[in-house]
Chains A and B, each alone.
Chain A
Amino acid sequence: MTVEAKPVSRYTTAARINHWITAVSLVLLALSGLSLFHPALFFLTDLFGGGQLTRVIHPWIGVVLAVSFLGLFFRFFTLNFWNRDDSVWMKNLGAVINNKEEGLPELGKYNAGQKLVFWGQSILILALFCSGIVLWDTYFFDLTSIDQKRLAAVAHALCAIAAILIWIVHVYAAIWVKGTLRAMTRGSVTGGWAWKHHRKWFRQEVGKP
C-alpha cells in the first residue's frame, strides 16, 4: 500500500461549495438546453416537469450559474494567467496524454489545460448569458429585433455545445488523473499528487520554493 505524504489543502470549503453549485447548475442547464435543442432529446423535459416548465426554469438556472461562476472567476483568475511554462506544456500535450509528463516544467496551481478550461468556460458563459438574455422572451422580448434573436439562438447553441465539450474534458481529466477529485470533495490532495502534478505550487504550500 502506498504511504501517502501529508495532505495539502487545495480548496477552501467556500470554494468547493461555489464549485458544486456551478457544477449542478451546468448539468441541469445542459440537460434542459439539450432537450429543447434536439427533438430526440425532448424527453429530457420530463425531468423538469414538462416542456413549459423546462422553458421557464432553464433561464433561471442560467442566472444561478452566471452568479456562481462569477464567484469562481474572481477566486481563480489570478492563478490562471498564461506563462511560458504553459506554452511548453502545450507543446508537449502528446506526452501528457500518454501519461509521460515527467521532464516537463514544474507547474503552479494550474496547468495549461486547466487554464484553457477556465478561460474557455469564462468566455462561453459570458456569451451564453448575453445571448440567453436575448432569448428570454418573457422579460426581454421587446429589447431586440427578431433577426438579433435568430443570431442569439445560433450563438447560444454553438456556445452551449462548446461548453459541454469543455465540461467533458474537465470531468474526464478528473477521472483520468487519480487523486484529483478529492480536491473538490474533501478540499485536499496528497503530497504526492501535488508533487507530481503541481510541484511549483506544492513548494509554495510547504514553504520550500
Chain B
Amino acid sequence: MSVLQALDLRRRSASSVAPPPAGKAPAVEVAKLIDVSKCIGCKACQTACLEWNQLDQPIGFFDGTYNNPPDLTPASWTVMKYTEYENGDNLEWLIRKDGCMHCDDPGCLKACPAPGAIVQYTNGIVDFVSENCIGCGYCVKGCPFNIPRISKTDSKAYKCTLCSDRVVVGQAPACAKACPTQAIYFGTKADMIAHASKRIVDLKSRGFQNAGLYNPQGVNGTHVMYVLHHADKPSLYAGLPDNPHISPLVGVWKGVMKPLSLAAIAFAGVFGLMHYVTKGPNRVSESDERKATELAEGDKK
C-alpha cells in the first residue's frame, strides 16, 4: 500500500533514512482539507475509498446511528461520524469524515519496531508498508487519533494512505474526487491553509464565531485538516481530540528507555567481566573439603 519507488522518504520506522537524491527540488507538502461545514453526509467518500483501494468491507450490524460501519476497520479506512449537537435551541448535525490525519510528527511511525513498516514521504503522507508490518499493534499505541486497525485476516495494520498511489501521479485522493459538494479539497498544505482561512471568514460572517482550522500543533500539524464551525471544541465532532499529542508514555518507551536499557545491560555485562578479572573466581579450598568431610564423618572418628 505504498509507492516507495516514486516518492522520497522523510522518515522510515525503526531505521534511519538517506536524504533525497542531490539536485532534486524540495518536495511540496500536500494536505487534504475537509470542510465539515460543507459536508452533507452522503458517504460518497467512503464508497470511493473502498472502490479505489479495492477494499472489501464485510456487511456488519446496525448500531442505531448513521455511522456505517460504526467505526474504522481494517477495510474501512475512512468512516463518516455523525453527531447530533444541541446548541441552545438549535440542533446541529455535525458530520466528520474520520480517518488518518497524516501527522507531521507521526506517533505510529515512532512507535513502530519493524524497519520500514511505516514511512513518511517528503510530501508529508504517512504510509504503511504491509510487507514489512509484523502486526504487533505498536502503531495503535503510538497514534493519538486511534486510527490504525489490525486485520484479523493477515495480522497487519491498515489505515488511509491519503491515496499516495494517486498523489504520486498528480491525482487527488479518491475521496476528494468523489465528494459532490467539494467539502474535501486537496492540494499543497499552504494552499489548503489559505483556502481554509477564506472559508473561516465566511463561516464567521454566518454566525459561527468560533469557526477555525484544525491543524493541531501537538503533532506539529497534520496533512489532513478540518474546517470546523466549533474549532474551540473539536471533541464535539465524535471525539476529535482537543489537543492531540503522542502519549508521554510512548515518548518514554520509544525515547530515553531504549538507549538507557541497552546501556544498563552492557554495563552489567562489563561489570561482571571486570569483577572476574580483578577479584577472580570464588573457589572452594582443600581445607573446605577437609572440614566438610570431618563434619560429615565426625561420628565415625
Contact = CB atoms under 8 A, between A and B. Distances in A.
Nearest to B296: A206
Given A3-B290, A149-B141, A154-B253, A52 B282 contact: no
Contact of A169 (B150, B268, B279): B268
B281 A177 contact: yes
Contact of A191 (B252, B262, B285, B293): B293
Contacts of B275: 97, 172, 176
A46 interface: no
A196 B285 CA distance: 9
Interface in B240-262: 247, 249-250, 252-253, 257-258, 261-262
Interface string B128-147: 00001011111011000010
B291 interface: yes
A172 B150 CA distance: 42
Interface residues of B, number: 49
Contacts of B257: 154, 157-158
A146 B141 CA distance: 6
Interface string A143-170: 0001101110110011001001100110
B292 A192 contact: yes
Interface in A152-209: 153-154, 157-158, 161, 164-165, 168-169, 172, 175-179, 190-196, 202-203, 206, 208
Interface of B: 14-15, 113-115, 132, 134-138, 140-141, 146, 150, 155, 247, 249-250, 252-253, 257-258, 261-262, 264-265, 268-269, 272, 275-276, 279-286, 288-293, 295-296, 298
Interface of A: 2-6, 36-40, 42, 45, 50-52, 54-55, 97-99, 101, 135, 137-138, 141, 146-147, 149-151, 153-154, 157-158, 161, 164-165, 168-169, 172, 175-179, 190-196, 202-203, 206, 208
6 contacts: A38-B261, A39-B15, A50-B134, A51-B114, A98-B279, A196-B284
Given A137-B136, A195-B295, 18 more contacts: A36-B134, A36-B136, A39-B14, A39-B15, A39-B113, A150-B141, A150-B249, A150-B253, A153-B253, A168-B272, A169-B268, A176-B275, A176-B281, A178-B284, A190-B289, A191-B293, A195-B288, A195-B291
